[in-house]
């Protein structure tokens, strides 16, 4: 039986794996901005013109020269001549002069001569053609200046930025309809084991349906990759090596589920060592679940062996597979979405080991972040432990557990 389980800390193991991978994929594709959500920019995007292109009002009110309102109050209002109304969607055909004002709606173009807008609620009609101004405004008040949102030629989306709804809207505001994005890396998936059958089949006694190919495919897609499933490979070394070699040739990274623990039938590490240099980098992560995870690099491509237990495979997919995809995409590192919560029960842990617990978040009227974190207890082969979970709770290696009532940070799934 090969020697393994050196148990590197997850952070150190992840850094070692990423350091052996090739640079981000050079290929990019041109896509419509309207369908670019979740894609990663492959080049810097610059603003073709300022935004807005004309000064606009942020409120309903009256365009004025600010100096004509100085000193105005409820008890001592200013009186300005009303000279017209700015049409929405059109340019004003007049100029605001001394002692004058014009009706202006939210988003409307500020007429020449005006430099501020008085909100409607601080005005009233004094007499025909005259407005009473009950509050002073400063120059630029209630106005968006030309280029205040974005100046022309500014880098509005840097290379490596993942597209979110706000980015989609920002590009549309500038009339940018297409975008060059990183090509989705292909990630090959192999499930191993004589006992594993396709989900469409009815398992016989001793058999289980393939779960990991599909949970990991979903994880890969959400991270921006393209999963390629190579099916189920039995416990034969030659068959696994052939399937893995094919996947490595056709994909940018390869995942093998099961075949990573200390069993004489477990061949993943040996297969990885045959696929290319340097081969196996880490065999054993000091974490729970997922201790027997294998991290390898073959010719600059990641080859990862994940445990067969669904919870272990998926949790370690978050820890190691997602960062690999992000590197292949050239994505700028971004913070994880987390929630502060109050732990409901004591959680034990082993010093020196990083633990990840699935937890359910329950709303509360008061307390840390307004949430309670309820750990979900169960073995690592129970996929519905994660189905019920809203997030994962990390216990650091230097802790021996967490206490009930303690404030914790939950990584959202």
Rounded CA separation 160/178 (Å): 16
Surface-to-core class of residue 399, CB atoms within 10 Å of its CB (0-12 exposed, 13-18 middle, 19+ buried): middle
Sequence-distant (6+) residues with CB within 8 A of 124 are: 131, 132, 134
> What's domain 10-27+183-329's superfamily in CATH?
MoaB/Mog-like domain (3.40.980.10)
Residue 153 reports pLDDT greater than 90: yes
Where residue 3 falls among pLDDT bands split at 50, 70, 90? very low
Q: Which of 27-36, 126-135, 276-285, 376-385 has the lowest mean pLDDT?
A: 376-385
How is the chain split into domains, by residue range?
10-27+183-329, 29-51+149-182, 56-144, 338-412
- 10 Å Cβ neighbour count for 194? 13
Q: What's the CATH code, domain 338-412?
A: 2.40.340.10
Helix (H) or strand (E) holding 170: helix 165-173
Rounded CA separation 141/149 (Å): 15
Confidence at residue 1, expressed as pLDDT on a 0 to 100 scale: 37
The string of DSSP letters for 185-254 reads PEEEEEEE-TTEE-TTS-PPTT-EE--HHHHHHHHHHHHT-EEEEEEEE-S-HHHHHHHHHHHHHHSSEE
Residue 313 reports pLDDT greater than 70: yes
Is there a contact between 65 and 140 (Cβ–Cβ < 8 Å)?
no
Confidence at residue 259, expressed as pLDDT on a 0 to 100 scale: 61
Confidence at residue 290, expressed as pLDDT on a 0 to 100 scale: 87
Q: Under DSSP, is residue 11 helix (H, G, I), strand (E, B) or coil?
A: helix
pTM for this entry: 0.88
Sequence-distant (6+) residues with CB within 8 A of 145 are: 55
Residue 324 reports pLDDT greater than 70: yes
Candidates 2.170.190.11, 3.40.50.720, 3.40.47.10, 3.30.230.70; correct CATH number of 56-144? 2.170.190.11
- 10 Å Cβ neighbour count for 321? 23
Confidence at residue 262, expressed as pLDDT on a 0 to 100 scale: 56
Cα dihedral 384/389/392/398 (nearest 10): -80
Rounded CA separation 343/340 (Å): 10
The model's pLDDT over 177-235, given as tens digits with 9 standing for 90+, comes to 999 999 999 999 999 988 999 999 999 999 999 999 999 999 999 999 999 999 999 98
Q: What's the CATH code, domain 29-51+149-182?
A: 3.90.105.10
Rounded CA separation 155/373 (Å): 41
Q: End-to-end distance of the chain based on CA atoms, in angstroms?
A: 36
Q: Under DSSP, is residue 45 helix (H, G, I), strand (E, B) or coil?
A: strand
The model's pLDDT over 326-356, given as tens digits with 9 standing for 90+, comes to 999 999 988 889 999 999 999 999 888 999 9
The model's pLDDT over 40-60, given as tens digits with 9 standing for 90+, comes to 999 999 999 999 999 999 999
Give φ, ψ of 13 to 5 degrees. -65, -40
For the chain, what percent of residues have pLDDT higher than 90?
A: 85
Is there a contact between 106 and 58 (Cβ–Cβ < 8 Å)?
yes
């Amino acid at each position: 039986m090969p020697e393994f389980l050196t148990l590197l800390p997850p952070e150190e193991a992840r850094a070692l794996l990423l350091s052996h991978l090739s640079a981000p994929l050079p290929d990019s594709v041109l896509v419509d901005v309207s369908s670019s959500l979740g894609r990663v920019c492959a080049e810097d995007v610059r603003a073709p013109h300022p935004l807005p292109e004309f000064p606009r009002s942020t409120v309903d009110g009256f365009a004025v020269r600010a100096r004509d309102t100085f000193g105005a109050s409820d008890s001592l209002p200013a009186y300005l001549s009303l000279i017209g109304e700015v049409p929405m969607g059109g340019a004003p055909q007049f100029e605001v002069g001394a002692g004058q004002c014009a009706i202006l709606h939210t988003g409307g173009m500020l007429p020449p001569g005006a430099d501020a807008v008085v909100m409607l609620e601080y005005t009233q009609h004094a007499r025909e053609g005259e407005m009473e101004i009950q509050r002073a405004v400063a120059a630029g008040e209630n106005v968006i200046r030309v280029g205040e949102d974005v100046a022309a030629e500014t880098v509005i989306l840097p290379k490596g930025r993942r597209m979110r709804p706000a980015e989609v809207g920002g590009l549309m505001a500038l009339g940018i309809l297409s975008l060059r994005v990183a090509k989705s890396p292909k990630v090959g998936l192999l499930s191993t084991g004589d006992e594993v059958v396709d989900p469409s089949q009815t398992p016989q006694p001793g058999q289980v349906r393939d779960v990991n190919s599909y949970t990991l495919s979903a994880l890969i897609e959400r991270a921006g990759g393209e999963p390629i499933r190579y099916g189920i490979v039995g416990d034969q070394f030659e068959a696994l090596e052939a399937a893995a070699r094919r996947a490595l040739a056709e994909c940018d990274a390869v995942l093998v589920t099961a075949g990573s623990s200390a069993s004489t039938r477990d061949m993943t590490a040996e297969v990885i060592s045959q696929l290319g240099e340097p081969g196996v980098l880490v065999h054993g992560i000091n974490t729970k679940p997922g201790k027997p995870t294998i991290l390898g690099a073959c010719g600059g491509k990641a080859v990862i062996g994940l445990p067969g237990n669904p919870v272990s495979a998926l949790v370690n997919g978050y820890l190691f597979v997602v960062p690999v995809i992000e590197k292949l995409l050239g994505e700028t590192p971004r913070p994880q979405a987390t929630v502060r919560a109050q732990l409901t029960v004591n959680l034990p842990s082993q010093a020196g080991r990083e633990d990840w617990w699935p937890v359910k978040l329950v709303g509360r009227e008061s307390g840390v972040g307004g949430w309670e974190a309820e750990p979900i207890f169960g073995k690592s082969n129970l996929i519905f432990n994660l189905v019920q979970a809203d997030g994962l709770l990390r216990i650091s290696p230097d802790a021996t557990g967490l206490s009930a009532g303690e404030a914790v940070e939950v990584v959202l799934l």
